[in-house]
């Protein structure tokens, strides 16, 4: 499937990418993390969440006792939108089958939806992350989802860190994880 993604030309984003960003992590994850789209560093390396937001994500996971290797990290889009703009509906429609198949193959007990585009698409809603975050919801396909703020948003608005921490504690409790002492 990663090879199919690498050769994808379904939308205009293929013309401007350096690399596709398929996703990485455990093939039997406790948690799948779905972000919006690759950024500049992700496009350069072909790896998800490796820039500043990814570094914060790694710390967030560690705070609940998870390493990147324990989870699977991917994005709604597999190519970077120019200037990191929001995904367009046609781009989401082009990548949606890839994400759906990733989730089917991984069969994780839970999904952490990072940001509005990921949460909206997974939950098939128009509601924004401000009204979605903080409580578990189920997708039409039966996946359990915790919507929360994207790490890039937290970097821009540090006051959101407290809300994300509350969301992560709920995820840890649901997964039966002991939160490490700090």
Q: Would you list the domain boundaries of the chain?
A: 2-174
Q: How far apart are alpha carbons 48 and 77 in whole angstroms?
A: 11
Locate the DSSP E strands across 16-151.
Answer: 24-25, 32-35, 72-75, 111-114, 137-138, 144-148
132, with CB counted inside 10 A (0-12, 13-18, 19+), is buried
- Token pair recorded at residue 89: 């509906």
Q: Write the pLDDT tens digit of every residue in 77-128.
A: 999 999 989 899 999 999 999 999 999 999 999 999 999 999 999 999 999 9
pLDDT tens profile 12-21: 999 999 999 9
- Give the largest Cα separation in the chain, rounded: 47
Global pTM reads 0.95
Give 2-174's CATH code, choosing from 3.90.700.10, 3.40.470.10, 3.60.110.10, 3.40.190.10. Answer: 3.40.470.10
d(CA 36, CA 116): 8
């Amino acid at each position: 499937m990663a090879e199919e993604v690498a050769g994808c030309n379904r939308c205009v984003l293929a013309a401007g990418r350096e690399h596709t960003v398929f996703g990485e992590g455990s093939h039997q994850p406790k948690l799948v993390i779905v972000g919006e789209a690759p950024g500049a560093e992700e496009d350069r390396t072909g790896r998800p969440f490796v820039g500043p937001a990814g570094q914060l994500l790694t710390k967030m996971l560690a705070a609940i006792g998870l390493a990147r290797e324990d989870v699977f990290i991917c994005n709604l889009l597999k190519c970077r939108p120019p200037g990191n703009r929001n995904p367009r509906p046609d781009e989401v429609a082009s990548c949606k089958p890839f994400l759906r198949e990733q989730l089917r193959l991984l069969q994780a007990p839970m999904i952490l939806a990072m940001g509005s585009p990921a949460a909206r698409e997974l939950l098939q809603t128009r509601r924004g992350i401000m009204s979605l975050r903080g409580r578990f919801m189920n997708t039409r396909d039966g996946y359990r989802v915790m919507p929360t703020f994207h790490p890039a948003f937290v970097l821009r608005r540090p006051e959101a860190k407290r809300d994300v921490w509350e969301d992560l504690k709920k995820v840890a409790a649901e997964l039966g994880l002991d939160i490490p002492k700090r």
